[in-house]
Structure 1
């Protein structure tokens, strides 16, 4: 297979972790006989400094003409003024809109070696294997905004079509897992949530094999901490999903190990670790590359259709975690490059064992 991958390192530790992910993708391509071409472009704060805007047209053109997009992180104290006319986050939101990605996938498994780093008791983490599907282009983040004197308004808007497409994607994913779907809303208060719930019920009726459960967002926030192993695929709207997925990431012991994929109607997707730009450790060579590397595995699976390669990469990461080659956020002292080299070595040894 030949694939064109646009790489957007971004700000802070973004360049460090995307370099690790690219190195691993090059190794996978070599091992499995693929050709991956990488095209690096600007986004976020570095794009503002270089071009005056967070999402240059050259970046848009490269992304829409590629097979997949790999992103590092955007933002940092230099560009943190919320009153600024141009901000790094506008680049990310704009890119999601340009790519038409509406479903954000955040898988969460708790590796046994990392369970002790979680704030939850170890016994509550046994069997945790979640997949969040967050609607990505609607809701309060994209609604009309206004401010006048001492009043501010953020419109939360959803259409039936927006809900249908993300719930249908969640159902398709649930079919390949345990066939359980939890829909999270606030239907006892919000009209958008009532539309969300009725639309979800109608879509899930097309999938008789799927067991549907509704949860209110406030109770779901509690249940994720008390019995996370009870859930499989969780689908929810944009704002709720943003909050719940960051809460759930704490179960894994560190934001540094969690990947994400943002998908649309086709195969083109946007892949990024869920952590931020971490400017306090940028340039020190200590950033955890696991989240970016696992995002590369999602890229292989969802945009390139390379399931065997994705599974092999995930197994190599598991082997590295088993061997306790950990960065300092996980209680170790390994550098970014050392963890990356360990993943590459595990990929090599697994190939030799299979030969």
Structure 2
């Protein structure tokens, strides 16, 4: 009997529609192999939604998302909307949907593909074999803490923010990290600044307490400054990194840069009920409509959906393995092309991946 999943499809702006089409073609290919059925419902978000409705996240789109099992989002933004008021810009649609769906964790894998080792800023001996994931807490910390603001004190301006975490916020993301590590190399690195910040001291305490239920997983604690250094010095030693909103924002970009191309990086934002999957890269308006965008990050985001929401991990592995085989055969979109490899467009890359599924 076929398993059916309702998928909210939000192509967004720039290259979004092109790479979303590629991801859906791959999902349809894998669905036949695993007896799955996907019911897609498309919605507007970002600049496309602003142009049509004046709102970067229309109520209809939010309704579609909340009635779905998962959300696939491609990209939002572009120069066309840069001069709009901050609260009306495309990126606000993305921030709002994350908040409305109560997505508390962002998962960003960082994997070094053998065929692309030359793209990494690190030498091959350091980067070869790297396969890690950064789990960033999304709803707490200094980005959302109150009070915050800019005011005048003692005759001069002062800016201030509040870094705050509740026990339940730390516990739920620690549990997620340990659960994910159980399906990987069984190691969690919890990153904080507990030697200076009380909020980090609490973070470390709660993560350690939560670890008592996951004794089969190794736990190490690391200060954020040391982690930033060790990601460059010995990236292969990491498996699952879990950390707060601010530190995660920085470390996930650093970990992603190790692989050499943003066009390769997927991500997932997870909540208690909902999940949203999107590539890390932006909307690339300069190449939109030309059919040359790299669809791999979007395709791998769809693979994460198969793994986490649909719970068909072998289907996800099939896609990931197909991507690796295509890269090993020398297929490259323009952003990762180098002399001696075969330059292909979005459609050709997608078809090559499907052939290997």
Distance in 2 separating the partners of 1:135 and 1:337: 35
> Which residue in 2 is equivalent to 1:134?
136
Q: 1:6 deviation in Å?
A: 0.4
Residues 61-96 of structure 1 show CA distances to partners (whole Å, capped at 9, x for unaligned) of 100110110001112222335853322222112111
Q: Does 2:356 align with 1:346? A: yes
Contact 2:109 2:256 in 1 (8 A): no
CA RMSD of aligned residues (A): 1.6
1:146 maps onto 2:153 in alignment: no
Match of residue 17 from structure 1: 19
Residue of structure 2 in register with 1:107 after alignment: 109
1:308–1:10 distance in 2 versus 1, CA, 3 Å: same
1:311 aligns with 2:317: yes
What's the counterpart of residue 295 of structure 1? Answer: 301
The alignment status of 1:217 with 2:224, answered yes or no, reads yes
Partner of 1:311, secondary structure, is helix
Secondary structure, aligned partner of 2:86: coil
- Partners of 2:44 and 2:159 lie apart in 1 by 33
Deviations 1:112-156 (A, max 9, x none): 110011000000012211011111111222234423464333332
Distance 1:151 1:46, change over 3 A: farther
TM-score of the superposition, structure 2-length normalised? 0.92
Q: Which residue of 2 aligns with 1:93?
A: 95
Change (3 A) 1:175 1:288: same
Counterparts of residues 164-313 of structure 1 (less than 5 Å) = 164-266=171-273, 268-313=274-319
95-104 or 74-83, larger mean C-alpha shift: 74-83
| Distance in structure 1 (CA, Å) of the matches to 2:196 and 2:44 | 41
Contact map agreement 2:107 2:133 (CA 8 A) in 1: yes
| Equivalent residue, structure 1, for 2:125 | 123
Would you say the 8 A contact 2:190–2:222 is kept in 1?
A: yes
- Where 1:102 maps in the other structure, the secondary structure is strand
Distance 1:31 1:177 in 2: 24
Instruction: Summarize the Cα distance change of 1:148–1:80 in structure 2 as closer, same or farther, 3 Å threshold.
Output: farther
Q: What stretches of structure 1 of length at least 5 have no aligned partner?
A: 348-355
Matched residue pairs, number? 346
- How far apart, in 2, do the equivalents of 1:155 and 1:88 lie? 26
CA distance 1:81–1:199, shift in 2 (3 Å)? farther
Please report how far the alpha carbon of residue 339 of structure 1 lies from its aligned counterpart in structure 2 after TM superposition: 0.5
The SS at the match of 1:182 is strand
Give 3-state SS (helix, strand or coil) of 2:269's partner. Answer: strand
Separation of aligned partners in 1, 2:129 and 2:322: 20
Question: Does the 8 A contact of 2:266 with 2:280 survive in 1?
Answer: yes
Higher mean displacement: 149-158 or 43-52: 149-158
> TM-score, structure 1 length as denominator?
0.93
Task: Decide whether aligned partners of structure 1 residues 47 and 155 sit closer, same or farther in structure 2, where only a CA change above 3 A counts.
Answer: farther
Name which of structure 1's ranges 3-12 and 200-209 shifts more when overlaid on structure 2: 200-209
Residue in 1 aligned with 2:71? 69
